[in-house]
Amino acid sequence: MKEEKLLSLLKELIRNSRRSDRELAKATGTSQPTVTRNRKLLGKYIRSYTIVPEFEKIGYEILAVTFAKAKTYNVKEVDAKTAKAKKWVMNHANIVFASDGEGLGKDAVMVSVHKDYSKYADFMRDYTANFADFVTDVQSFIVSLKTGTIMKPFDLTYLADDVNGNL
């Protein structure tokens, strides 16, 4: 029963984390003190409370998904180059996600937003200059946030209906 209450609260927080504990209690059918207590318990499952902006309305015209293939190195070199890559990624606020992975013949992915094409081009030149000795075969898929046809806007609230499992 406790797990069901936690899961219900997590789903409601995903839908809208701005609501008060009183509003969340009403939505989950529990008391406000229970919501307050359970919110603290959920802390380990929540990375951050934030908003998802309308990117195009705050000046971003491009979303880019960039894939790259890392060159083969020995373990020591990979660790050093990975540390350099993490530092570079963390210093670019327009990068919203970056990770290793696999598929399409690539093993790294990065999702970034850009004010316009010239900012994107500058960004990619900087990326290429910093990682020319580490990555090869860099390819991007560019989405126009201003004029493109967006079938489903980026928003994590959709996940509320898919969340289940053990907490």
Supply the pLDDT for residue 1: 55
pLDDT score for 81: 84
> What is the predicted pLDDT for the residue at 71?
82
One pLDDT digit (tens) per residue for the chain, 167 residues: 588 889 999 999 999 999 999 999 999 999 999 999 999 999 988 988 888 899 999 999 999 999 999 887 777 777 888 888 999 999 999 999 999 999 999 999 999 999 999 999 999 999 999 988 888 899 999 999 999 898 998 888 998 888 887 67
Name residue 70's beta-bridge partners.
135
Report the alpha-carbon distance of residue 166 to residue 162 in Å, rounded.
13
CB burial string 36-69: b at 16+ within 10 A, e below: eebbeeeeeeeeeeeeeeebbeeebbbbbebbbe
Pick the CATH number of 55-144 from 3.40.50.970, 3.40.50.2300, 1.20.210.10, 3.30.70.920: 3.30.70.920
Question: What is the model's pLDDT at position 23?
Answer: 96
Between CA 124 and CA 115 the distance in angstroms is 13
Q: Where are the domains of the chain?
A: 2-51, 55-144
Provide the CATH number for the domain formed by 2-51 in this structure.
1.10.10
2-51 shares its CATH topology with 55-144: no
Those residues with Cβ within 8 angstroms of residue 25's Cβ, 6 or more apart along the chain or in another chain: 31, 32, 34, 35
What single string gives the DSSP state of each residue in 92-136? -TTEEEEEEEEETTEEEEEEEEESSHHHHHHHHHHHHHHHTTTEE
At 124 the pLDDT is 97
Report the pLDDT value the prediction gives residue 151, as an integer from 0 to 100.
92
Q: Three-state DSSP class for 165?
A: coil
For residues 19 and 85, what is the distance between their CA atoms, to the nearest angstrom?
Answer: 37
